[in-house]
Amino acid sequence: MSKMNIKKFGDSILRVKCQEIKNIDDQVKKTAMEMLETMYQGRGVGLAAPQVGLNWQLVVIDAGKGPLVLINPKIIQKSNILVKGEEGCLSLPNVSLKIKRPSWVEIENRNIKTDNIQKFKAEGLLARVIQHEMDHLEGKLIIDKVPFWEKWCALGKLKIKRD
């Protein structure tokens, strides 16, 4: 398998609301495996389809307990308790920001092997990574979640023109 190219901040695909995957076919399964390989090579813990140029609701994660593939994920319940934590992003190299997120989430998604709907609850790092990657499926980035000044500083680290 070949490593996929990770799209960087400024690429328009990162701002697209992704489409549901209708059929879990061999192409979707192959893409998920290539995304995992790319994520591992980039030393990330999560990767969403738009980060590799695809307008699909597909996320891969490995927060330390083995690989997880989420297809058409939806948050069906979440904690009212927000926890602030450090987040980076493979599409925003050299940027790390403290982001507030619910401490746990309950997710519903399609299982890549069985095509059945599955539900599970995630806490801690896994909950944070799931929420981060699901933001990508809505065209949202971590810099959208911080005050203007923090965003300004982050863009400076990216060497992006700040209008």
Question: Could you tell me if residue 3 is inside a domain?
Answer: no
User: Which band of pLDDT confidence, cut at 50, 70 and 90, is reported for residue 156?
Assistant: confident
Any domain includes 7: no
Which tokens go with 114? 């069985």
| Beta-sheet pairing, 82-88 with 117-123 | unpaired
Catalytic residues: 133
- Is residue 91, in this structure, part of any structural domain at all? yes
Query: Is 162 inside any structural domain?
Result: no
For the segment 71-76, the average pLDDT, to the nearest whole number, is 98
pLDDT mean over 97-124: 97
Q: What is the CA radius of gyration of the chain?
A: 15
Backbone φ, ψ for residue 3 (5° rounding) = -70, 135
In this predicted structure, the answer to whether residue 131 has a pLDDT above a threshold of 70 is yes
Q: How far is residue 43's CA from residue 61's CA, in Å, rounded to a whole number?
A: 11
The domain total for the chain is 1
Integer Cα distance of 89 and 69 in angstroms: 18
Is 73 contained in some domain?
Answer: yes
Judge whether 56 and 80 are in contact, CB under 8 Å. Answer: no
Asked whether residue 161 carries a pLDDT value surpassing 80, the answer given is no
Residue 5 placed within a domain: no
Residue 44's domain comprises: 12-157
Per the CB < 8 A criterion, the answer to whether 75 and 86 are in contact is no
Compute the average pLDDT of residues 21-47: 96
Q: Is residue 6 part of a domain?
A: no
pTM for the model: 0.93
Inside any domain, residue 109: yes
CATH number at residue 71: 3.90.45.10
pLDDT for 41 beyond 70: yes
